[in-house]
Amino acid sequence: MTSPTQVKNVPLLDLRAQYETIRDEMRVAVDRVFDSQHFVLGGEVQMLEEEIARYSQTKFAIGCASGSDALLLALMSCDVGAGDEVITTPFSFFATAGAITRLGAKPVFVDIDERTFNLNPALVSDAVTERTRAIIPVHLYGQCAEMDPILEVSRQGWRQTGGENAGAPIPIIEDAAQAIGAEDARRRAGSMGTIGCFSFYPSKNLGGAGDGGMLVTNQLEHARRLHMLRVHGEETKYHHQVVGINSRLDALQAAVLRVKLPHLEEWTTARQRKAQQYELMFIDAGLSEQIEVPFVRARARHIFHQFVIRVRDGRRDALRDHLRARGVGTDIYYPVPLHLQKCFSFLDYQEGDLPVAELAAKETLALPVYPELTDEQQDYVVGSIAEFLRG
């Protein structure tokens, strides 16, 4: 184990290292776009859409400007609006609930599973009311939420409410921003619900050179609506069927992503190996009782967008300070659960309402995990953690 006294720089993510491996391919792709002078939508975007649809095991894919917009567009396509309710998790990036609120709907937060940090499917059914218009499970950190029970709630629909929608299925919008290529029982993230949403923010496993997003679906009706909604509701030029937004994917981003997509499986395998190596190193260092490594569900394919450990007994923040002093990059995803965010105070949630999510916010810590992370760097990370825990 590398001595933690030998201070190194181990960033949480090293995009420069990735770029060095594909620099020549990337330059060719970018030059191709500049030579074409076609910068918004167009052939590059259409080809990426086709490639993402195949990769995600769906019939259709629709590019948009960001993962946040993907969530908003999906909700719009499902006719979510003022007075509606959308069931989701409090332990996610802000965009999940932000998109709901922007449409005048109400996020209804359901607590999470203690082991996976994903939406607890056993709690979803009880949250359904006559006003429920959609369910948004989040595939957090690169592992799919347990979808079969959630899909069953969707199939049961509003039956138990006795309202005007009784018996109709409830749309499921998969927030797969962190989970492209993840699987639940061999079903790809984004392919199981009504609509799936991806983010191509640069730090994602498949990241662009700026913002970008994608929606996937197997339903032709939603594919058509999403194509309109992303261009102000326009079906043909200057003829607007619905009120949409301006959320188009740039050709430059599509070209960058088309270079990276063929490498994604190799990168995913490398992330999985790094995750397994962490687990073995914690065991070898005698730290397995003090550090809880990610729990991977049976029949799940975890792509390890993040490698998130759990540090009990109130020691998480001190460990993070220690690692920062040793040059090790970390982050907390997420320090304040959504139901306790100031902007959602109008929902009247109180501390203690969703205790599993609240405790996770105090105990989780993301460590560096990416294909280019070297054995020496990983050894240094674990050695630095061992130094802290042994006092």
In whole angstroms, give the CA distance from residue 109 to residue 354. Answer: 8
Average pLDDT, the chain: 94
Confidence of residue 167 (pLDDT cuts 50, 70, 90): low
The sign of the CA dihedral 165, 125, 301, 330 is: positive
CA distance 1 to 381: 9
Whole-angstrom distance, CA of residue 169 vs CA of residue 162: 13
Quote the tokens at residue 102.
């922007």
Give the C-alpha separation, 30 to 253, whole Å: 9
> For residue 224, what pLDDT is reported?
96
CA distance 244 to 235: 11
**How confident is residue 158, by pLDDT bands cut at 50, 70 and 90?**
low
- pLDDT tens digit sequence for 259-296: 999 999 999 999 999 999 999 999 999 998 899 999 99
Cβ 331 vs Cβ 308: under 8 Å: no
| pLDDT value at residue 109 | 98
pLDDT tens sequence across 345-366: 999 999 999 999 999 999 999 9
Q: What is the pLDDT of residue 175?
A: 98
Q: For 239-348, where are the alpha helices, taking DSSP H only?
A: 251-260, 264-284, 316-325
Give residue-wise pLDDT tens across range 177-216: 999 999 999 999 999 999 999 999 999 999 999 999 999 9
The pLDDT of residue 239 is above 80? yes
Q: What is the pLDDT of residue 101?
A: 98
What confidence tier does 160 reach under pLDDT thresholds 50, 70, 90?
A: low
pLDDT value at 166 more than 90: no
Residue 1, pLDDT score? 58
pTM: 0.94
In this prediction, residue 59 carries a pLDDT of 98
What does the radius of gyration of the chain's CA atoms come to, in whole angstroms? Answer: 21
User: With 60 as the cut, is the pLDDT of residue 7 above it?
Assistant: no
Instruction: Provide the pLDDT for residue 33.
Output: 93
pLDDT at 252: 96
